[in-house]
């Protein structure tokens, strides 16, 4: 009986429990499937940043950082493209042409 190994300790960390099937994740749906409110928030944030950078444009130009103005313009423009995409995607989901989980 000297060859018997002591019983292995059972790991209790969440990763091990999940691997053994002891933890079960609840099915939780996302709050916003369309993404439109998030994109609009981003567009507004870039617009506010544009105004702030515009106020300090003279100081930024003096420091060689006038390109920040164009970063805000690009963020705003890309946000508009994102809004167009999200609206188009949401319309396809509503029409049944696309799954809400697809992407």
Residue 58 lies in a domain: yes
Residue 71's pLDDT band (boundaries 50, 70, 90)? very high
Residue 89 lies in a domain: yes
What integer pLDDT is reported at residue 10 of this predicted model? 74
82 pLDDT higher than 90 = yes
Stretch 12-41: mean pLDDT: 79
Residue 94's pLDDT band (boundaries 50, 70, 90)? confident
Residue 65 lies in a domain: yes
Residue 14 lies in a domain: no
Residue 11 lies in a domain: no
Residue 24 lies in a domain: no
Global confidence as pTM? 0.65
Stretch 32-54: mean pLDDT: 93
What integer pLDDT is reported at residue 50 of this predicted model? 96
User: Considering only CA atoms, which of 82, 69, 71, 70 is closest in space to residue 42?
Assistant: 82
Domain that holds residue 86: 38-96
Q: At which residue do the structure tokens 């950078």 appear?
A: 53
80 pLDDT higher than 90 = yes
* CA 36 vs CA 65, 72, 83, 92: distances in Å: 32, 20, 6, 14
Give me the number of domains the chain comprises. 1
* CA 20 vs CA 6, 11, 14, 24: distances in Å: 21, 10, 10, 10
Residue 56 lies in a domain: yes
Residue 16 lies in a domain: no
What integer pLDDT is reported at residue 58 of this predicted model? 92
């Amino acid at each position: 009986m000297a060859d018997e190994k002591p019983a292995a300790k059972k790991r209790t960390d969440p990763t091990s429990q999940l691997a053994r099937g002891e933890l079960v994740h609840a099915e939780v749906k996302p709050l916003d499937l369309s993404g439109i409110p998030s994109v609009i928030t981003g567009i507004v944030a870039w617009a506010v940043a544009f105004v702030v950078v515009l106020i300090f444009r003279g100081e930024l130009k003096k420091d060689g950082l006038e390109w920040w103005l164009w970063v805000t313009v690009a963020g705003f423009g890309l946000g508009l493209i994102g809004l167009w995409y999200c609206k188009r995607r949401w319309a396809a989901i509503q029409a049944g042409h696309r799954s809400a989980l697809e992407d």
